[in-house]
Amino acid sequence: MANQWRGVITEYFDRLDIAPGTKIITLGEGGTPLVHAPALAKLVGAEEVWLKVEGMNPTGSFKDRGMTMAVTKAVAHGAKAVICASTGNTSASAAAYAAAAGIKSVVLIPEGKITLGKLAQAIAHKASILQVKGNFDDCLVLARDLSENYAVHLVNSVNPDRIEGQKTASFEVVESLGFAPDFHVMPVGNAGNYSAYFKGYLEEFNEGIIKAVPKLWGFQAEGSAPFVAGHPIENPETIATAIRIGNPASWDLALSAQECSQGEFGAVSDAEILSMHRFLSNEVGVFVEPSSATGAAGLFKNSKLGKVPAGAKIVVTVTGHGLKDVGWALKDENGNEVSPTSCSKDAAEVAELLGLEKN
Ligand SMILES: *Cc1c(COP(=O)(O)O)cnc(C)c1O
């Protein structure tokens, strides 16, 4: 297995809180591409923009970086089952890593608010799936309660092992670029990932590898923006289901990360999210789920407010793969369904249909 990326625990063993000799549960997560995005840089008036494409992880989202740590540690502690509350991607990841570890997984999902792609993943990896009559925040309260009183290990991002694994994305960004970006932008739901990026960058700073921690910009959906409101939101609403969270689990960690990095939180509308979702696939060539476009949508919004310096070097994390939530891609700007045009097998007819010029 020469030259194969070995997953974040093995690649960063010395920089993670893990005991030597621990049996590692991995699916080869991490090592995701940092994609140069000149079209986005032009749109926002920055010198350079790169996308950290986390949809390239084994289950299609960044959650795998934290899940390898959380499940590895759960198994090391003798756990026979893991549990999580999820808007979809955490459950897909927990179910896959539990399958790899040969233990059970239980996932609690909010009724009717998870995409089919993500549900299919949890089913495929044989999770026990329960739809809770409530929203994500209710699911998390229930998952915490069960893990405290029954033999099942909690793998939500309130588990510090998740944050520990997810911090490796910052290491990869710095390794790929050879420096830290001026700004790092991402979507925010529970803010576990925001906190994890800060932890990673701070460690790089403390070890003298980078000169400054990037300013962290975290964006939420307008109908689900507790960090902007300054208090939890009772009934969060947005089409960006992965960040439809009213009571973020990592509230205090995220606020201190924002303060220490001189970063900020902002909110964008669903229309702005969907428009950026389209831009990323049409103009950059990267297909993400709508929630994942929230960071880039926020960057664009801030650029219109004059907050992006011309010389800025920016990394934007796109958190999950487009194939997880295909419904939005199948509609045009006006919300009409798009489907392929039927045609004959005749080359001349097809060429005419396509408007191709004869050579
Ligand atoms: C989980 C998730 C988020 C939000 O991450 P938090 O750590 O909860 O802030 C954003 N986008 C996608 C695709 C996710 O799966």
For ligand 1, pick from 136, 194, 268, 319 the residue to mutate: most ligand atoms within 8 Å of CB. Answer: 319
Evaluate: CB of 292 within 6 angstroms of ligand 1: yes
Counting atoms of ligand 1 from 1, which one is nearest the CA of 320? 13
Q: Does 117 have pLDDT greater than 80?
A: yes
Q: What is the pLDDT of residue 2?
A: 76
Residue pair 87/64 in contact (Cβ under 8 Å)? The answer is: no
Residue nearest atom 1 of ligand 1, based on CA coordinates: 242
Evaluate: CB of 115 within 6 angstroms of ligand 1: no
For ligand 1, pick from 113, 193, 245 the residue to mutate: most ligand atoms within 8 Å of CB. Answer: 193
Q: With bands split at pLDDT 50, 70 and 90, how would you rate the model's confidence at 1?
A: low
* Start-to-end CA span in the chain (Å): 48
Q: With bands split at pLDDT 50, 70 and 90, how would you rate the model's confidence at 211?
A: very high
- The SS3 assignment for 104 reads strand
Evaluate: CB of 166 within 6 angstroms of ligand 1: no
User: CA–CA separation, 250 vs 273, rounded Å?
Assistant: 23
Rounded to the nearest whole angstrom, what is the distance from the C-alpha of residue 60 to the centroid of ligand 1?
Answer: 12
Q: What is the pLDDT of residue 216?
A: 98
Evaluate: CB of 157 within 6 angstroms of ligand 1: yes
For ligand 1, pick from 243, 247, 318, 328 the residue to mutate: most ligand atoms within 8 Å of CB. Answer: 243
List the one residue out of 85, 93, 91, 86 whose CA is nearest residue 67: 93
Per residue in 132-173, pLDDT (tens digit) is: 999 999 999 999 999 999 999 999 999 999 999 999 999 999
Pairing of strands 104-110, 153-154: unpaired
**Distances in Å between the alpha carbon of 336 and those of 197, 289, 291, 297, 329?**
38, 19, 20, 22, 11
Per residue in 217-245, pLDDT (tens digit) is: 999 999 999 999 999 999 999 999 999 99
